[in-house]
Amino acid sequence: MIRVRGLVKRFGGDIVLDGIDLDVPEGALVALIGPSGCGKSTLLRCLNGLETPDSGEIEIDGERLGPGNAARLRGRVGMVFQSFNLFPHRSVLSNLTLAPRVVRHRSREQAEADARLALARVGLSGFESRAPATLSGGQQQRAAIARALAMAPRAMLYDEPTSALDPERVGEVLAVMRDLDAGGMTQVVVTHEMRFVREAADTVVVLDHGRVVESGPAAEVLAAPRDARTRNFLGSMQA
């Protein structure tokens, strides 16, 4: 579903991504882990076309990402950020229908029907008329996931989707991601939730200083990491 080769991204004189290779099979859940500042979020933004790489190739669903098709391919890859980014002056339903109507030119009826289905998938049926401010943090993040799902993406990207949540709300967001995984959705998640990675991820990719230092099945990487930098990072997470 997603193929990356030799991806390089610089900010000024700093190399943030230094020759990244990545394969995300259709239906897989891939976890990107590593210390803060290692390039995980920048990699996600490149996959979604929000950042333009300096060199390298990105393919989404068999099509190479470039300036001429970035906006169109972005519609195939949903993005969920740390902050929920819901419009506070719009209802939950209006938040979900805005992009499908403006970007995909769907009718109000179709956009609302799709939005209701997306809300049902994340356990928020009946919340259509609510204002975002009346929702808990976990509910807001689930609404943000539903907003991305309403665009009918082929893959979902998450940048630390639980980092802004109270601990008791983390599980409800991770449960949605598990549900989507069971339904065959391709997902790439940047996270420090190691229990979720261990239980749900098909593949773990470890980044350090803008490079992939280790990747493989979650059970193998987490139980017996080969690279010293992976061992150091996992040790710091357990400290």
**Taking the model in full, what pTM does it have?**
0.93
Q: Return the number of other C-beta atoms located less than 10 Å from residue 58's C-beta.
A: 23
63 and 92 in a single domain? The answer is: no
Q: Tell me: the pLDDT tens digits for 191-203?
A: 989 989 999 999 9
Both tokens assigned to 201: 């991820």
Both tokens assigned to 190: 């940047």
> Which residue(s) pair with 55 in the sheet?
8
91 and 39 in a single domain? The answer is: no
Helix or strand run (H / E) with residue 205: strand 203-208
173 and 230 in a single domain? The answer is: yes
More confident: 121 or 69: 121
Q: Tell me: the pLDDT tens digits for 13-59?
A: 999 999 999 999 999 999 999 999 999 999 999 999 899 999 999 99
Identify the domain containing residue 14 by its residue range. 1-76+155-239
Non-local (6+) Cβ contacts of 210 within 8 A are 9, 15, 16, 17, 18, 20, 38, 39
Q: What is the pLDDT of residue 115?
A: 97
> Which residue(s) pair with 157 in the sheet?
79, 188
- pLDDT band at 83, cuts 50/70/90? confident
167 and 65 in a single domain? The answer is: yes
Q: What is the pLDDT of residue 82?
A: 86
- pLDDT band at 70, cuts 50/70/90? confident
94 and 161 in a single domain? The answer is: no
Share of the chain above pLDDT 70, in %: 100
Among 152, 174, 193, where does a domain finish? 152
Q: What is the pLDDT of residue 167?
A: 86
Non-local (6+) Cβ contacts of 143 within 8 A are 84, 86, 92, 95, 96, 119, 122, 124, 127, 132, 135
Pairing of strands 77-80, 155-159: parallel
Both tokens assigned to 124: 């928020």
Q: How many alpha carbons lie under 13 Å from residue 176 in its C-beta half-sphere?
A: 28
Q: Across residues 216-237, what is the average pLDDT? A: 92
Among 132, 152, 172, where does a domain finish? 152
166 and 219 in a single domain? The answer is: yes
62 and 180 in a single domain? The answer is: yes
Q: What is the pLDDT of residue 90?
A: 96
129 and 11 in a single domain? The answer is: no
Average pLDDT value over all residues in the chain = 93
Into how many domains does the chain fold? Answer: 2
66 and 96 in a single domain? The answer is: no
32: domain CATH number is 3.40.50.300
Q: What is the pLDDT of residue 118?
A: 97
Q: How many alpha carbons lie under 13 Å from residue 201 in its C-beta half-sphere?
A: 28
2 and 70 in a single domain? The answer is: yes
Is the Cβ–Cβ distance between 196 and 172 less than 8 Å? Answer: no
Among 152, 178, 194, where does a domain finish? 152
Least confident of 31-40, 75-84, 135-144: 75-84
Q: Tell me: the pLDDT tens digits for 93-118?
A: 999 999 999 988 999 999 999 999 99
51 and 162 in a single domain? The answer is: yes
